Chains A and B, each alone.
Chain A
Amino acid sequence: NAGVTQTPKFRVLKTGQSMTLLCAQDMNHEYMYWYRQDPGMGLRLIHYSVGEGTTAKGEVPDGYNVSRLKKQNFLLGLESAAPSQTSVYFCASYEENEGNEQFFGPGTRLTVL
């Protein structure tokens, strides 16, 4: 039982390049999330999904797109990377039940030059 995994762990991009971050979970959770973590700002929600085929915007969605074609996978895309998107990205999953916690992946460290 791997929990939540993220690919890749590290990536360096040049401004304007595109990339996709992959999140996978094997807990059959309906809800999945993408956060970014920046120093002093905690976790900020980018996009989330409440089930296969659904996505919704979070607090800071601009410059990102997501897809949830399969229940176990949640992809985060950057179409044209900018230095402001340099951050650590975390994926999380959650089973809907009051009081349940989110389960987090190990993170992806992205640097945009």
Chain B
Amino acid sequence: AQSVTQLGSHVSVSEGALVLLRCNYSSSVPPYLFWYVQYPNQGLQLLLKYTSAATLVKGINGFEAEFKKSETSFHLTKPSAHMSDAAEYFCAVSGRYSSASKIIFGSGTRLSIRP
């Protein structure tokens, strides 16, 4: 069984500050992990994904995430927040060899940026 937990439904940071959005997963098989971003009134857009190559994954808009097997985590970071980063972020997990229906999404974290 797979699951994903996003810690913090709402995170607020100042412009220029570090962004850290937390995601922990549970999977009985080696996972694939994804971060999606949803801007207001839009669909979900892929930020980055982990598919077992490098454990540090770089995505669009300066975001990156590190896969830590020992901590079952895949936290999303950005060194310096920009106002345009305000959005909702979803972590998702799927397992190797599992069907495409088994892509599980977290409940989302809303990121607000303070001027």
Q: Which residues of A contact B (CB under 8 A)?
A: 4, 31, 33, 40-43, 45, 48, 50, 56, 58, 90, 92, 94, 96, 98-99, 101-102, 104-107
Q: Does B100 lie within 8 Å of A48, measured CB to CB?
A: yes
Q: Does B101 lie within 8 Å of A58, measured CB to CB?
A: yes
CB neighbours of A58 from chain B (8 A): 101
| Pairs A–B under 8 Å by Cβ, sample size 23 | A4-B43, A33-B101, A40-B9, A40-B107, A40-B108, A42-B90, A42-B107, A42-B108, A45-B101, A50-B99, A50-B100, A94-B100, A94-B103, A98-B51, A98-B96, A101-B49, A102-B103, A104-B44, A104-B45, A105-B43, A106-B42, A107-B42, A107-B43
Q: Does A43 lie within 8 Å of B90, measured CB to CB?
A: yes
User: How far is the CB of B74 from the nearest CB of chain A, in Å?
Assistant: 14
Q: Does A90 lie within 8 Å of B43, measured CB to CB?
A: yes
Interface size on B, residues (CB 8 A): 24
Which chain B residues numbered 30 to 53 have a C-beta less than 8 Å away from chain A? 32, 34, 36, 41-46, 49, 51-52
Give A45 to B43 CA distance when docked, in angstroms: 15
Which applies to chain B's interface (DSSP): helix, strand, loop or mixed? loop
Q: Does B100 lie within 8 Å of A101, measured CB to CB?
A: no
Give A5 to B108 CA distance when docked, in angstroms: 23
CB neighbours of B96 from chain A (8 A): 98
CB neighbours of B42 from chain A (8 A): 106-107
Q: Are A31 and B44 also in contact (CB < 8 A) when A40-B107, A98-B32, A98-B51 are?
A: no
Most buried by B among A40, A90, A101: A101
Which chain B residues numbered 72 to 89 have a C-beta less than 8 Å away from chain A? none
Give A28 to B97 CA distance when docked, in angstroms: 22
Give A41 to B6 CA distance when docked, in angstroms: 11
